[in-house]
Amino acid sequence: MKTVVLTGMMGSGKTTVGSSLAVYFHLQFFDIDKIIEEKEQMSISKIFELYSEDYFRRLEKDTIKNIFKSSDTIISLGGGAFEDEETRQFLNENSTVIYLQTSAETILQRLKDDKTRPLLCDNMSLEKIQNLIDIREKNYETASHIITTDNKKPLEIIREIIGVLL
């Protein structure tokens, strides 16, 4: 099966959905943020704090390049990875990209007590999240499939994705 890549905002459910899809299809699962944290022996927040966002973005881009295989894997990206043009074009050409589309209201609800997202934890507001969606949406929308996630349980989302993949 062609590799499936999940993209979308923080809190859209990429990791939950991706790991379940991997179990369902008996495929290997890669969570890019987790791979970076394990390799650097540091949380994403610490990488942002000690180095910089730019440094993290380079790690993110290299990690995607290094682990990518064109078949039989499910990859969950960090929410900002699809902003890099080269990464986006490469993944769109070589995998099935699924955008998990989630409203700012739902993201705020899900992440309001979360302290692990450096881009939001200083100022977790609806405006900040909406602003980030507005900047990123056009890139997310280049994905092969768009699946809305508001008011859906993970199982419903997983079923929907299985439906578009089979």
Q: Which residues bind ligand S3P (CB under 6 A)?
A: 10, 14, 33, 44, 78-80, 117-119
The residues, any chain, with a CB within 8 Å of residue 54's CB and separated by 6 or more, are none
The SS3 call for residue 74 is strand
Please name the helix (run of DSSP H) or strand (run of DSSP E) that holds residue 75, with its range, or none: strand 73-76
CB of 104 to ligand S3P, least distance (A): 13
CB of 72 to ligand S3P, least distance (A): 22
CB of 14 to ligand S3P, least distance (A): 6
Complex with ligand S3P: residue 9 or 158, whichever CB lies closer: 9
Q: What order of strands is seen across the sheet that includes strand 73-76?
A: 28-31, 73-76, 4-7, 96-101, 145-148
In the complex, which residue's CB is closest to ligand S3P?
78
CA distance 143 to 100: 10
Complex with ligand S3P: residue 47 or 158, whichever CB lies closer: 47
CB of 166 to ligand S3P, least distance (A): 26
